[in-house]
Structure 1
Amino acid sequence: MGITTEMMENLDKSYMFQKIAELPDQIREGWQIAAGADRPIDFDRIHSIVFAGMGGSAIAGDIIREFLGHALRMPFYVNREYGLPGFAGSGTLLIASSYSGNTEETLSAVGEGLQRGCDWIAVTSGGQLGETARQKERPLFVLPPGYPPRAALGYSLGVLLNLFSPLVPDLGESEIEATVNFLKDESGPWLDIGHHQNKPLALAETLSGRLPLLYTSVGPGEAVAMRWKAQINENAKAHVFVGLMPEMNHNEIMGWEQNQGNIDILKMMAPVMIRFENDHERVRLRMALTRRIIERIEVGVHEIEARGSNLLDQMLYLILFGDLVSFYMAILHGVNPTEIGNINALKKGLQSSQS
């Protein structure tokens, strides 16, 4: 098993590899997009935040929610559905995120937000969402067009980091630049398929043809794991499952008890533990004990620990790592990482039902 430059050139017709590698620069550019606009958020006037988005347009909301943590003294809800939570209304800031601008769930949420009197802003490359924001004279942050939504994460994340920077001490342009440089330094070997320290490629080779299970802690780990899952789903066309500590120790751990009904399935699984240095000490112990239980039935467990001097760096380190794992898995699976045939077929069916 291995990857060659020829394999990448033949399969990656839409340059997903380059788009993934752009993540650090996208963050910088997204920050500048927001820097050129008036501050649209008066944090003294809002009591809750709802981030409405789907798929690749939603993950920036997960990251910001976890990054802000206790700095945000109000609920921050990532909304992945047609409607809005019951608390949304006057005093709620609705952030509508749709890269295409035409995501039907997000547009539906905006319509409901208008009825309920939510304050709202839009993050998009155009489409109906951009047009509605212009008509309603709402703050609009326009992202560069031409990307699959999942490959434009850095742009939307950079915008959000800028918008929420007043709440975070020591988060300014110099700190963003430091994060960009850190990611570029760390990812250098990951972008070279011949480098002996290409850890994403090594993990992709292990996961290819198997069923990955991502185990991590709630909070930042959950946001990272959901990004890994979505990227492997869309890029590598493969299933992935996520288990969260400590909850999975109260149920899912029993699935690792070998019996005549699951022995073949267990041998196909590839557990990966995603760790942060600030994981609760009891969670770290639970991970160690869980690994011991899994290894008793001779299933290998892989671990990756976040690197970086702060939480933002650590989350983005893991996200860029996982994005590349998904890309290399796609090449090993012999598929174009950009194409999303089933998603497009589903959308076509939804559209035909309205005609």
Structure 2
Amino acid sequence: MLSISTLKKVDKHGMHTVYDRWPQIAHSFYYTKHQPIDYKDIDHIVFAGMGGSGAIGDLFSAILSKTNIHVSLVKGYLLPKTVDANTLVITVSVSGNTVETLNILKSASKQKCKLVAFCSGGQMEKFCARKKIEHRLVENIHSPRSSLVNYVYSILGTLNSVIPIKKSDILESIASLEKLANKINSSNLSQTNPSLDVANWLSGIPLIYYPWGLQAAAVRFKSSLQENAKSHAIIEDVIEASHNGIVSWEKPSVVKPILLQGQDDYIKTKERWKIVKEYFTKNDIDYKEVISTHGSILTKLICLIYELDFASIYYAVLNDTDPSPVDSIGFIRKRL
């Protein structure tokens, strides 16, 4: 079992201490005095960001999927050609220096669309100030991936008139984070900690199955395992995988399946989960289930991300890996 002394020794930069405070950070940044932005007649939102910043777009895309607002995600250099006067482009770069997102910002500034940037400074802040583009400075807490929660709730506070999410759902999500923290944070390194339970089970190459509505949590978990635990990881939509990926299990593998499920998945999705679990059991394939909390889609996703991010930190430490350094990303960034 993981001890607090080992956690502190291996997690040299204290990433776990930031996650211990995620509920308080969410509350603080939501209630910060944001200068709101009130854009009218928006029917298309483009979220642009990479890595930890890009995960924010994944989250909002899922939340807005059942509204009348079309959402495009850009994880690259090019702005969609569908951008027009009724489009809001939101660029997110925690560092403020992400080259791909800066390119989107510069392209959008030449269009007739609405535009707002969120960053902690850097080239993005300088460009926005020079071009008089709406932007909000949000603190970088430890790293871009650790800063997801303060950026999400800052965006919710700033764009509350544009993003149709009820205040009651936002408050519910913060309360659920607080409740979950008591189970998964570093003050409870026991067998009752679900994040630690996942970390103890992990080995080989995790394959994360998810239903369409929980894709944002699956993508985030993959990225967190890659960055924090320096581990390969795979994600697959459980419905699509039933038509192709499931065949891969006919041969022995170091891959281990994790089933990411929602409390109120669509009835046919629940049927599919039952069949997939039957298949794994019949073929002696060890699998792990992770099930969302009750609540709105915001609550489900932010709590799943919280639980699984902590699992990736614990998994890293159990394998004597400091979760903070990302030297390979630095190698690429220096050559751009």
TM-score norm. by structure 2 comes to 0.94
2:229 maps to what in 1? 236
Whether the aligned pair in 2 keeps the contact of 1:26 and 1:152 (CA below 8 Å) is no
1:299 CA displacement:
1.3
1:63 counterpart (59, 64, 80): 59
1:322 CA displacement:
0.3
In 2, Cα distance between equivalents of 1:8 and 1:325: 13
1:225 maps to what in 2? 218
Alignment of 1:1-355 (within 5 A): 2-33=1-32, 35-37=33-35, 39-44=36-41, 46-71=42-67, 73-166=68-161, 171-172=166-167, 176-191=170-185, 192-207=187-202, 209-219=203-213, 221-258=214-251, 263=252, 266=253, 268-350=254-336
1:297 CA displacement:
2.4
Whether the aligned pair in 1 keeps the contact of 2:138 and 2:154 (CA below 8 Å) is no
In 1, Cα distance between equivalents of 2:230 and 2:129: 37
In 2, Cα distance between equivalents of 1:175 and 1:292: 35
Whether the aligned pair in 2 keeps the contact of 1:89 and 1:113 (CA below 8 Å) is no
Deviations 1:276-317 (A, max 9, x none): 123111111111111222232211111111113322221122
Unpaired runs of 5+ in structure 1? Answer: 351-355
In 2, Cα distance between equivalents of 1:84 and 1:12: 38
User: 3-state SS of the aligned residue for 1:156?
Assistant: helix
1:56 CA displacement:
0.3
Aligned pair in 2 of structure 1 residues 342, 302: CA closer, same or farther (>3 Å)? same
Letter in 1 for 2:177: L
In 2, Cα distance between equivalents of 1:43 and 1:193: 46
Whether the aligned pair in 1 keeps the contact of 2:90 and 2:115 (CA below 8 Å) is yes
Which structure carries more helix by proportion? 1
1:158 CA displacement:
0.4
Unpaired runs of 5+ in structure 2? Answer: none
In 1, Cα distance between equivalents of 2:178 and 2:99: 35
Deviations 1:80-122 (A, max 9, x none): 0011112124332110100000000000111111223332101
Whether the aligned pair in 2 keeps the contact of 1:193 and 1:201 (CA below 8 Å) is no
Q: Which moved more, 1:99-108 or 1:6-15?
A: 6-15
In 2, Cα distance between equivalents of 1:106 and 1:162: 22
In 1, Cα distance between equivalents of 2:174 and 2:110: 40
In 2, Cα distance between equivalents of 1:43 and 1:254: 49
Letter in 2 for 1:307: T
Aligned pair in 2 of structure 1 residues 252, 43: CA closer, same or farther (>3 Å)? farther
Deviations 1:11-57 (A, max 9, x none): 11111001122222222233234x430x323232x331111100001
User: 3-state SS of the aligned residue for 1:242?
Assistant: strand
Percentage of identical aligned residues: 26
Deviations 1:314-335 (A, max 9, x none): 1122111101100001101111
In 2, Cα distance between equivalents of 1:181 and 1:124: 26
Whether the aligned pair in 2 keeps the contact of 1:133 and 1:140 (CA below 8 Å) is yes
In 1, Cα distance between equivalents of 2:270 and 2:171: 31
User: 3-state SS of the aligned residue for 2:146?
Assistant: helix
Aligned pair in 2 of structure 1 residues 329, 179: CA closer, same or farther (>3 Å)? same
1:353 maps to what in 2? none
User: 3-state SS of the aligned residue for 1:36?
Assistant: coil
User: 3-state SS of the aligned residue for 2:160?
Assistant: helix
Aligned pair in 2 of structure 1 residues 70, 164: CA closer, same or farther (>3 Å)? farther
Whether the aligned pair in 1 keeps the contact of 2:65 and 2:71 (CA below 8 Å) is no
